[in-house]
Structure formats: C-alpha cells, structure tokens
Chains A and B, each alone.
Chain A
Amino acid sequence: MANSFTRMIAGRNTAVILASIGASTLASGYLLHESAAAAERRKIYPPSADFPDLRKHNNCMAAALTPKMYAHLRDKVTPNDWTLDQCIQTGVDNPGHPFIKTVGMVAGDEESYEVFAEIFDPVIKDRHNGYDPRTMKHPTDLDASKVTSGMFDERYVLSSRVRTGRSIRGLSLPPACSRSERREVERVVVTALAGLKGDLAGRYYSLGEMTDREQQQLIDEHFLFDKPVSPLLTAAGMARDWPDARGIWHNNEKNFLIWVNEEDHTRIISMEKGGNMRRVFERFCRGLKQVEHLILERGWEFMWNERLGYILTCPSNLGTGLRAGVHIRLPLLSKDPRFKKILDNLRLQKRGTGGVDTAATGDTFDISNLDRLGKSEVELVQLVIDGVNYLIECEKRLERGQDIKIPSPIPQFKK
C-alpha cells in the first residue's frame, strides 16, 4: 500500500487532500477560533448532559463507552466533521438483543478509527476476540494458490461463496457521505470495472435506472439488494438518498458480483453452484487484484492500514472483511447436540440460507467463518475448507452409524 499521495481528480477544481495515512498518528492540534454560539452551547450542555442512557443496552459500544470517554471525545471531529455522536447513534437507537451482541457503532470515514480510537479500540477488541489494534498487526494475503483441498463433496455442498468489502480512500463512508461523494464512489468503481476482461468482463446496473425486466432478472438470480430495512443500518444513516448512486455490477458468467454503495462503498462477491471453493477463491483474489489495479491507475486506492487491515463501515468487517461460506446439507449432524460445539471449535458460524438473521430451512445451512480480523484471507478460507470437510466427514460417519468427535478448538491469533 502506498503511504501517501495527492490524488488528482478529473474535472474537479480542488484536490481532496488525504487525511489519514496508514498507521500514522494525527497531530492533536486545535483550531484557534470557534464560533460564539458553539462555545455557548458547550457551556449549557456539558458532555454529561448528552451522555446517552445505555442501561438497557447490550452492544459492544455500550459495554465500552464510559462518561469519561464520552466527555473526552464528544467535541472532537474528523477532518470531514464527523462526530462521536454520529458514530454511536445506531448503538444508542438499537439497544440490541439480549442474546446477540451487536457492535453498536459505525465509522463515517477512515479517520473515525483514529480520532475516536479511544472507543473504537476496545470495541474492536471485544468484537474480534481480543485483537488489540494498539499492539497487533493484521496480515493480508490474497494469494489463492496457497489454499489446499478446496473441492467439496457436492452431495453435501450446494454452493460456495466468498465476499468482502472495499472502501475508496479519500471518500466518506456510507453513514456520512454526501451525495457527490457517493456518486464519486460509483463513478470510480464503475469506470474501473469497465476495464475488466475475459471471464471477468461484465456490466453495471444502476438501481435507479434499471428496467423492470432487469430488476426481475437480478431478483431471480439472487443478486439484487434492496434498500436496507434493518433499524441497525437505517439508524446509521446509510440509506439516505436511496437509490441515488447505488447499483450492481456482475460479470457475464454471473459468478463475480459487486454491490456499489450499499452498506459499504463496494461489496465484492465471488460465487458459484457446487463445491469448488478453490475456484471461487481464485477468481475472488484475481478479480480483487484487477479491480485494485484499475483504480490505482486512476490515482485512487483502497482504505487499508497495518493495524486494522481493510477499513469498512462496520467494525465487525475490519481486517479481511471476508466471509467465505457454503450452503450445505447436514441432515444428521444438524440434529446432533454437539453440532454447535463443533462449529464453535472450528470457528465457524451457521446462518439460514436467507442470510444473516434467517433461520435454516430444512437441513440446509449457510456455514462460514466467524473471524474477520487477525487472520489473513488465505488463512480464513483454509479454515473454512478444513472445517467444512470436517463437517462432511462427521455427516458421513453419522450416516454409517459411526460416532463423531468434537475437534479441539482452533487457536486465536498467531502471536
């Protein structure tokens, strides 16, 4: 990753200067003047007056935020004038579920993670099983050739998929972006994607302009995403101005797909029917590298740094932002009381085939990696491959009337 550069934007009068650079620190200077109205308000409403009531809350933000931290951070802003209150609004508005712990905060821009590190770091540590951004480094590895096995038994695995997200450095993230920034993201990404060739050549469908027929086609293929309805997302402001500058790109072969300006600047998905996870991951890495190359040519780059990996809107997607998974039939294993423990130890999670928050229908599950940060892409995909193979092995053993074993837990971080 390049350390710093000034980007030239065609057609703009002023260059947008980059603020944060990798793992660099920000100077903690303050501008000398502030308006009288602002000072007056700060006197009438000290931070204690604004501290949110989090007594009924069960999310990572609520667990980490203290009045002292709030007082320290409330009046700070990122270079784009994004504030702490804006980061945590979604967590204040959505107390969370008593059984599931949501994250409860979002970033408005790359600098949010620096300016508000005091709250983001403990939240990241909580969410990512002890990963400490202050001391640890995140490994990035998109060399698909390192992966072994990766061809699943298709009597069990119905489809394979790998997804991640990427943010364009220098433009605000979906909770915060203005309409022109969002449109700029669309322009940058679509221009770059037009440069893809061969099996990656494809086409962009803008959400606001697609015909009814195109829309129906995309729904049938399970490609179309719609305006978010989850209050977790809408409270963060990422659905503003819908469907302006949102769209879907996919290649002609329909196995490489990019969402533009949904929950992140881009979501990149490689998928196909069947169990050839190796090919899915290979195409994923190749496609990602080519897209990155195409935007670098035009003077843009992805948000990335050593301590947090790829920067995305939700802290839960930091690091690799990667979810590699399969739709798999496990009629016997799913009824075994040890199923959950086996998944836990393999560091896998199950979801219904409708995606997160859906229940499984029948015996078919969506099984994918739990972790995102602290392990590289190759490591996570290998983990999924090995884990799924183990699950298939268990299923086969149960079919034969043999007993199965709970595997020993996979260690957390390599340090």
Chain B
Amino acid sequence: MICYKGRSQVIRLTGELLGRRCWFVSSSVGKIGIFVSTPGSCSNPQVRKQQGSTMPFGNTHNQMKLKFSSEQEYPDLSQHNNHMAKILTPPMYERLRSKQTPSGFTLDDVIQTGVDNPGHPFIMTVGCVAGDEETYEVFKELLDPVIEDRHGGYKPSDKHKTDLNAGNLKGGDDLDPNYVLSSRVRTGRSVRGFCLPPHCSRGERRAVEKLSVEALAALSGDLKGKYYALKNMTDAEQQQLIDDHFLFDKPVSPLLLASGMARDWPDARGIWHNDNKTFLVWVNEEDHLRVISMQKGGNMKEVFNRFCTGLTKIENLFKERGHAFMWNEHLGYVLTCPSNLGTGLRAGVHVKLPKMSKHPKFEDILKKLRLQKRGTGGVDTAAVGGVFDISNADRLGFSEVELVQMVVDGIKLLVDMEKRLEKGQSIDDIMPSQK
C-alpha cells in the first residue's frame, strides 16, 4: 500500500488503484425512453412503495436529497485528480442532480467512485461509472466532455467503427516466439435491457448469468466448453482454474468497490472456458461479459481469428434468444467503465524486451506506436525480468482490426529493435512516426 499525504489528508492507494480504471460515462443514442424525475414529490411519512427508482441499491433516494440545496450536496473535490472532478462544476451538478435513468441511476451514483477515490497526483483516473445503457444519454452533459478528455478528443458527434472481420488483419501470424511468449485479445460485452454491475439487482445479475450460460452451452467444435459458477465450484476445479490463470476473484480495488459492482459476491458470477483453454468468458465480474482469446506464442492472427469467430457466434446465440449487446453508432460497445467504450478491446502480448526497455526512447516509441506497457501480473504491476505486457492504448475511435493491426505492427518493430540492440546495432533509422 502506498500512502500519499495530501495537504492534510492521507490518500490510500493500493497497487490496483493506479491507472486501473478510468471511468467515463458517455451518452448513447438511446432507443429507450428517458425518465426524468422532478423534485416536488412529498416526503410522506408513511410506508410507501418504491417510485421510479426500482433498483434499490445505491443513493437512489434522490427525492429526499433534492430537499437540500445543490450547494449543500456538492462533493468536496478539492483534493481530487480524476476526469470527473475536472469536468464537474456546481452549476452542472445542479442541472443534473434531479435526473435519473429509467432504472433509477442518479448523478451521485455515477460519480460516487470518483468522490471516494481522489486519484493519484500522477495518474488520471476517470471517476465515474455507468449503471445502465441510458446513463450515457441522461448524463451526457458530464460524460461527453469526460469521454473527449479520456479518449483523445473523441467528439459527441464522432462515429465509432466496428470491424470484427479477422480476415482484414494483415500478418500477425509470424511474431517471433523467442520473444513473444503469449498473445491475448480481450473485450467486454453488455446485454441490452439489463442494468450494469454497479446497479443491477440480484435478479438481473442472475438473469444475465442464465442467458450467458445458455448461449455459451450452444458453442461447438473448438469452442465447446464448460461453465464454472464461482459459488459452486469444487476445490479441485478452483485450483485448476487458478493454475490456468483463469480464475478471477472478488475485486479489492477501492475504485471498483466504491461503485458497487462487488455486491452479493459471488452470486451469479462465473467463468466459462472451452476445452482447449484458449477461449474464456467471465460472467458478471466488472462487466456483464468479458471475452478473452489467448494462447502461448506469437500467433496473434490465430488468437484474433478465434476471438472474432467466438464473439460473433456468441452474439448470434444471444440474438436467437431475443437479446442484443449494448451498442450504438457513436460509442460502439457500451460497457461499465467508460475507458472501455468503443471496442473495449485490449490486444496484447507478453514480450521479452530487456534491452529495449532500458533504451531512453522506449516510452516515446511506445507512445508513437499507440501502445502501453504493463507488468505481466496485469495493470499496475511492474515488469519482471524484462518481460512486458504490451497492448494497445486506445479503445474508442479505432476499429478492432485497426487496434490489433497496431499491436501486430508495433510488436514486430519492437522485436526487430530488440534484435538490433542485441547485435549492438543502432535503431535510429527505424524509429516510428506518430500513428
């Protein structure tokens, strides 16, 4: 644990807090009607039935709060360094505080995690989450600028391209396995019509699990697999999943906990993977679904092929059952964490770059290639033995194919550079330009 002492405040950070989540809430062009509640309903001191706020969790007692002035309710963001704190102003808070989505998600629900986690002075977290698809529309006044800030100037009028046609990827099957130890592509998907993890009720979460398990059970061939519910797995199954590095555990990061997504753990959470252990789906962790394709070695093309095939099949299986994924033209795939909007895609490799990582221009090269590095333990871990997790930095504004292409091309170049440095040669002539 790192303790950072602000002017008069001890801000506790855990390893997972650094840079893990930047939350944006963006507006979607919703096809669902927006319910905007207005102040003025009486505070009847009798036993009442719930009103518009149907999902009980969180600060849904918005009507009660409206009795207080906006000034009295406005959070103290003076120590804060996250996107939400930069964008939110008292007049904005006043305009948005009386609104709620049809399921009852309110502005305070959106920002609670950002209020509770001031952030790090050097890393900018996002500080908001979505509770449902409509959050992005109802609170667009806050979320559009936050998205623009987080996703490199992506404007409210911009359109996001989705391209899951793996055939469009050039190369990617020849990354040198002496350097590239493993390849992985992950994304997330939300099931339209259900609230997202910060806000869903137990009934909804279970419904998402049931749907997912049914759809996944219909996969066949090399995608045929099995579901392990977190609360039912045997010790042997649990140990196997840990050994395979598949098992996810209850979140401990205060960024996630403060948003409410760990409620009722481990109810309706689980892991599905195919028999070959190359295609993996997490159910109800930080998003409804996290879909992961991975394998040892450097054949990113194969990984991406399987990824696209599997995703498309899953989407069709959901559609057969009358459910679509949350998606729109402007924001692409809609997820809990605004940092994952668009493609929600992180394509990466574990790659040995001991010499490159010591090169003074390493960071700059990564930046130009639109890549980011992490330790092999995942985000917020340090690299061990010169082995890095290198992946695309972007999520929104580029298609899936474009992002994987960047990774493939970028890694190829980095490995070439590493080989040159091994031979004592210069790499100045192959420096990349800004992508």
Contact = CB atoms under 8 A, between A and B. Distances in A.
Contacts of A242: 116
B12 A210 contact: no
A346 B422 CA distance: 76
Contacts of B64: 79-81, 172, 178
A76 B48 contact: yes
A406 interface: no
Interface residues of B, number: 57
Given A82-B61, A212-B5, A212-B8, A31 B49 contact: yes
Interface string A82-106: 1111100100110000000000000
A341 interface: no
B8 A81 contact: no
A234 B45 CA distance: 29
B43 interface: yes
B201 interface: yes
A313 B267 CA distance: 26
Nearest to A76: B47
Contacts of A146: none
B72 A30 contact: no
Contact of A179 (B49, B75, B267): B75
A17 interface: yes
A243 B79 CA distance: 11
A79 B202 contact: no
Interface in B411-432: none
Contact of A81 (B10, B50, B265): B50
A176 B61 contact: yes
A81 B73 CA distance: 17
A35 interface: yes
A41 B46 contact: no
A159 B73 CA distance: 41
A168 to B, nearest CB: 15
A209 interface: yes
A160 to B, nearest CB: 30
Interface stretch (B52-60, B317-325, B336-344, B376-384): B52-60
A215 B202 contact: no
A141 interface: no
B59 A208 contact: no
A319 to B, nearest CB: 25
B63 interface: yes
A77 B63 CA distance: 12
A92 B201 contact: no
Interface residues on A, range: 35 or more
A75 interface: yes
A178 B59 contact: yes
B170 interface: no
B45 A37 contact: no
B9 A16 contact: no
B45 to A, nearest CB: 4
Contacts of B262: 93
B12 A79 contact: no
Which residue among B60, B264, B265 has the maximum number of chain A CB atoms within 10 Å of its CB?
Answer: B264
B370 interface: no
A81 B61 contact: yes
A123 B74 CA distance: 36
B263 interface: yes
Contacts of B201: 45, 49-50, 85
Interface string B190-220: 0000000000011110110000000000000
B122 interface: no
B51 interface: yes
B50 A179 contact: no
A81 B49 contact: no
Nearest to A39: B54
B8 A115 contact: no
6 contacts: A17-B45, A26-B45, A28-B47, A86-B57, A208-B79, A212-B5
Given A45-B201, A82-B61, 17 more contacts: A18-B45, A31-B44, A38-B50, A45-B203, A52-B202, A52-B264, A76-B49, A77-B50, A81-B63, A89-B57, A178-B59, A179-B73, A184-B72, A208-B76, A226-B10, A227-B12, A241-B75
